[in-house]
Chain A
Amino acid sequence: MYKSAIFILTLISFSSCKSASELKSEQYFVEGYQLYTTNCANCHQADGKGMSNLYPPLANTPILSDKAAIACIIKNGMKGTILVNGKEFNRPMPANPKLTEIEIAEIVSYVGMKFGKDSLYTPIEVVQQALANCKQY
């Protein structure tokens, strides 16, 4: 009886653990969607495809897997010429000093899941660590 209770509790904890992470992914996705719409979509567009030769796309770009780079660029902006999917872009991206670490984590999660290949969210710790060691982009 005691043993089986432990067994069942363990099972529950495992399944709830998994769903907690999924739940968090959903939360981050929804929050990230709102933040993306207000802060990013003007230029990068709602569908992440960018705008002609003015603003680069995010959808299906390799940089989406580099969470540290994405977090730092959102926070500090970016300048200089970049090559995205074979096209050159060189308009500066403004910094977003008002965004908090958790908000950046939510945006990174959203773009990663919506426009990249991620199935789960990017935890705030990853963003915190990245922001503490940003290089110039």
Chain B
Amino acid sequence: MRTSNRIQHLYTFFFVLLLAGIAGCQERRLPILGERDWVKKTVDGKEVVDTIYNAIPAFSFVNQEGETVTEKVVEGKIYVSDFFFTTCPTICPIMKRQMVKVYNEYKNNPEVMILSHSIDPEHDTPQVLKKFATDLGVTGTQWQFLTGSKEKIYEIGQKNYLSTAKEDKTADGGYIHSGAFILVDKEKHVRGMYDGTTEEGTQKLIADMKTLLEEYKK
């Protein structure tokens, strides 16, 4: 009687272990954000539906060193992207203060980069961006400040980074743009959007970057 009871307990114990094991398998994965498209194609004579996710397309901008920067710069890296301009009196200073925290957290991590796009490229020349970066305390190329064709910057912001950026003479500083930090994975998919004007948003981003980096460890 006592022995069978003990065996019963042992079974329960293993059953719980099994459940825990299954739960452990299902780790948290970040979603893929943005518009999707579906295409039908034929594989081994069978028709299958393939999902095409929103992905950051090829780009070409100029960084704070005056160098041309393309999508190659983030090859094999996850990165955080945002939109700002150096003379912005409203949310940019807060976003930059918060982004410095992200920067310090992943400083010198070869798998992580930050791309900050200027939405006022006429004023924000590479020299202006270089001075801004230096004054912010940023050196090296892990955090790139990008300028270039206004149309291209607005287009990639609106269409691919899912972030608003446009001119508006009535707004303080002359531009409106979202305060979002956008997390992009190594396959160029947007995996998270965060409110870069708040501490909660920033901390969530820092945590999600860790989750995303874990995906590549296996």
Binding site for B on A (CB under 8 A): 42-43, 45, 51-55, 91-92, 94
**A42 and B135 in contact (CB under 8 A), knowing A51-B97, A94-B173?**
no
Binding site for A on B (CB under 8 A): 86-87, 89-91, 93-94, 96-97, 132, 134-137, 172-173
Cβ-defined contact, B137 with A52, below 8 A? yes
11 further A-B contacts with Cβ under 8 Å, apart from A42-B94, A51-B96, are A42-B89, A42-B90, A42-B91, A43-B89, A45-B97, A53-B137, A54-B136, A55-B93, A91-B86, A91-B135, A94-B173
Cβ-defined contact, A54 with B89, below 8 A? no
Cβ-defined contact, A92 with B87, below 8 A? yes
In the assembled complex, 7 residue pairs joining A and B whose CB atoms fall closer than 8 Å, in A order, are A42-B94, A43-B93, A52-B136, A52-B137, A53-B136, A55-B93, A92-B87
Residues of A within 8 A of B136 (CB): 52-54
Chief secondary structure at chain B's binding surface: helix
Cβ-defined contact, B173 with A52, below 8 A? no
Q: What distance in Å separates the Cβ of B17 from its nearest Cβ neighbour in chain A?
A: 50
Residues of A within 8 A of B87 (CB): 91-92, 94
Residues of B within 8 A of A55 (CB): 93
Cβ-defined contact, A52 with B94, below 8 A? no
Cβ-defined contact, A51 with B93, below 8 A? yes
Q: What distance in Å separates the Cβ of A135 from its nearest Cβ neighbour in chain B?
A: 22
Q: Which of B90, B91, B94, B135 has the most CB of A within 10 A?
A: B135
Cβ-defined contact, A54 with B132, below 8 A? yes
Cβ-defined contact, A53 with B94, below 8 A? no
Residues of B within 8 A of A51 (CB): 93, 96-97
Cβ-defined contact, B89 with A94, below 8 A? yes
